[in-house]
Chain A
């Protein structure tokens, strides 16, 4: 199951040239870029691991692409996303965020229905990947 989230969730995965163009758009708007990664695909997992610090003082997308390449090399089999933060007063929020790498196999989610009193049903989703401990969730690419 292809996990989607963020700004371009409705699009096919971006190519590196497209990622570079989006990143340059962010930098041109003074949105510092962060690179984050995780092997927990749950949509409510907000706390991804940071790859280095947010890049406050770069002006050109080439620098971000350099870090992205390094992150992919270190974590070839996990989700990686890029986000741009708009720090302007009145906005102060993530302005853009999109997935730039995903595992080759995405096993998807189990839907759990918990039946309560009065025919009430509560739902939760559990990623099959998180059945395994962190760090062992996605097979290394062959």
Chain B
């Protein structure tokens, strides 16, 4: 049943002319695209990140409604979707960018939906005439998908006025303007340095429609993230190691070079290492469950517990 054939509610005027339907079925529009599923996965797989998830949802909603409008014969301009992701290390910027690429693809905004990650080294050359082809290669690779420029501020070196980074910046500005149909550019980095970068490169700022800020995780969120990682790798905390890991998080957060979820991943990698040597040292027969179980000692051997 098309929208035009739907009975009009509350006995309103008869069915509309087929070329100008009066009603559209939003539920159907949502059901038709697998985007709801992708959004639900984003919700479930990633812990915390409330404001980020909301913005992704809003963007998806805008695009979905754009499609519905188009079908209803309303003129719909393609929105600009270049974005900036700011947040401290390990807050999930790259992970969300990957999901974003997929969601934009499901909504038909980008044709392919892959993510190309680039940093200064991929874009900026070593000598005159080297930068333009390098940047162009990366842009070409990203076409149909999302170009994610990590630590974008390294492109701009104000202290060196002959820096080739400027050339890459100018090319990117042009691409963001002239190839809006072909790719989405996401600039990522740490908040304060991105602010400085945008202030010195207003061209970027004005081309970016969405600024997403990635908050640091709370200790509870980090624990949930760690539990997820442990379970995913088919290990498990017992009560002792769980308590130890909570303590680990509290201590680690206060130390330098703390990188949120990535620090959790690294800590778990080292815990697995210690668990393996502990099991091998004891040798003999072990229960299969012992291969999964993380002991408090595996956690407490970390240097984090030694330093104060």
Contacts and interface: CB of A to CB of B under 8 A. Distances in A.
Given A66-B140, A67-B140, A59 B114 contact: yes
A55 interface: yes
A110 B141 CA distance: 44
A62 interface: yes
A62 to B, nearest CB: 4
A63 interface: yes
Interface string A36-78: 0000000000000000000101111111001100000000000
Interface residues of B, number: 14
B92 interface: no
A55 B145 CA distance: 16
A60 B136 CA distance: 14
Contacts, number: 35
B87 interface: no
Interface string B128-160: 000000001001110111000000000000000
Given A62-B179, A62-B182, A57 B141 contact: yes
A58 B145 CA distance: 10
B112 interface: yes
Q: Is the interface of B mostly helix, strand, loop or mixed?
A: loop
B111 interface: yes
A100 to B, nearest CB: 17
Of B111, B143, B183, chain A has the most CB atoms within 10 Å of the CB of B143
Interface residues of A, number: 10
A32 to B, nearest CB: 12
B136 to A, nearest CB: 8
A38 to B, nearest CB: 23
Contacts of A66: 136, 140, 143
Given A55-B140, A60-B143, A66-B143, 18 more contacts: A57-B141, A58-B140, A58-B141, A58-B143, A59-B112, A59-B144, A59-B145, A60-B182, A62-B111, A62-B144, A62-B181, A62-B183, A63-B139, A63-B140, A63-B141, A63-B143, A63-B182, A66-B140
Interface of B: 111-112, 114, 136, 139-141, 143-145, 179, 181-183
